[in-house]
Structure 1
Amino acid sequence: MTGPSFSLAPGARRFALPPLVAALPLAIVAPPLGALALALGGFVIWFFRDPERTPPPNGVVAPADGRVSVVREEDDCLRVGVFMNVTDVHVLRAPMDGTVETATHRPGAHRPAFTKDSDRNERVDVTLDTHGVSMIAGWFARRIYPYLTAGDEVARGDRIGHIAFGSRADVRLPAEYDRDDLLVSEGDKVRAGETVVALRSR
């Protein structure tokens, strides 16, 4: 599967146009409000940026930009979660090659994405034949946009979705990976599709 070749994630126009359209009349009747609307529209465009990334030839790459907030064992597998703050790119990337088996939306709460309570948040869980990815909404985020459906094939670093305005993305490593294979720990800064979070050591 080849990711979309755009420089802005889908949804940018929907969120950016209202303040940008309002900026001109507001600039005439209330210049400070016009400037604020223009700044808001510019911020939305910047937030939805979708830069190109070059994945490494080997290893499991980070699914998102941000800081590692979760490293834990779960059902005999390791889960690595990345918290995205408002300044990070919010386009998500495939950690490994694989074929999508299911992509399931699960309603839930909207707790801060960097807390343990966020495990009960609204999410989209994507199960692939090689690994799993969870797209988790944060307290402010209300829109998860997966690009995947069952049967899609993805390559390491492909775009697989985005989450609007604050969130978390997790990768569930294959069972053969253990803690000796991890190259990151909680608090580490990572880049989606480029930072290797785990590499088989044997």
Structure 2
Amino acid sequence: MNVLDSVILPMHREGRKFVAIFALITIIATWLWQPLFWPGLALTVWCYYFFRDPKRVVPQNPNAIISPADGVVSLIQDVVPPKEMGLGDEALTRVSVFMSVFNCHVNRACIDGVVRNVTYHHGKFLNASLDKASEHNERNSITVERADGVKVGITQIAGLVARRIVCFVKDGSSLSAGDRFGLIRFGSRLDIYLPKGAALQVSLGQTTIAGETILADLGDGADAQVGISK
């Protein structure tokens, strides 16, 4: 990879219209008052950077549960998952990854599997770093099931700035670990519900990279404890 490849990153198609809008506003603002060119250019570049979609090297570990988001691990808690996710009534470890407006916002699949549930909820736009955002904020829940019955739940949560959750998959869609399944525009959070028996591989405050960072490892001993539908 040369220097240009590390600076000029591919942009997701969802961002094209927004970059075009920012560029048009910059042109109009510059026509009205020339000093506005530089702030407008900076915002346009930021918008392009926000929708960047870099290539990722997915770990070749069949027992790995990979982070679906770039960001920081903001919460690790044992909670009962939402009923619509079909993950049972017992508490599971939930890892929350908070994405700032400077993180890449393309979301990627945690495991190989089939999408079993996609459920959208309207809600508030509280600070996504708060614990109650999981319950009160606008969100989209997805459950992915491996061939052996192991299930991982993922919830895309809107935040103070984020006002649009985008999901590219539906019930029955097949995914491979690292595949793009959605994004959230302008700052947000993802909750990942880990199967019982999964060994946590991250800690609070750790930075994660979507499609690369391993959140948890199922291992050989975990298989007998996960994938039970209730």
Q: Separation in 1 of the partners of 2:156 and 2:114?
A: 17
Percent identity (aligned): 37
TM-score (norm 2): 0.80
Q: Which residue of 2 aligns with 1:197?
A: 215
Aligned residues: 194
Output aligned runs, 1:100-179, within 5 Å.
Answer: 100-119=115-134, 120-129=136-145, 130-177=151-198
The answer on 1:62 being equivalent to 2:77 is no
The answer on 1:37 being equivalent to 2:55 is no
Q: Deviations over 1:69-127 (max 9, x none)?
A: 12111233211110001111111111111100111110111111111121211000002
- SS of 2:13 mapped into structure 1: coil
The answer on 1:16 being equivalent to 2:32 is no
- SS of 1:115 mapped into structure 2: coil
Q: CA deviation at 1:23?
A: 2.3
Output aligned runs, 1:88-103, within 5 Å.
Answer: 88-103=103-118
TM-score (norm 1): 0.90
Q: Separation in 2 of the partners of 1:30 and 1:156?
A: 49
Q: Deviations over 1:142-199 (max 9, x none)?
A: 000011101101111111110000000121112332xxx1111111111111011111
- SS of 2:41 mapped into structure 1: helix
Instruction: Give 5+ residue unaligned stretches, structure 2.
Output: 1-8, 81-90, 146-150, 222-230
RMSD (Å), alpha carbons: 1.6
Instruction: Give 5+ residue unaligned stretches, structure 1.
Output: 1-5
The answer on 1:80 being equivalent to 2:85 is no
The answer as to whether partners of 2:141 and 2:156 remain within 8 angstroms in 1 is yes
- SS of 2:116 mapped into structure 1: strand
Kindly report structure 1 stretches of 4+ aligned residues shifted beyond 4 Å. Answer: none
Give, as a single letter, the amino acid of the residue that structure 2 aligns with 1:175.
K
- SS of 1:109 mapped into structure 2: coil
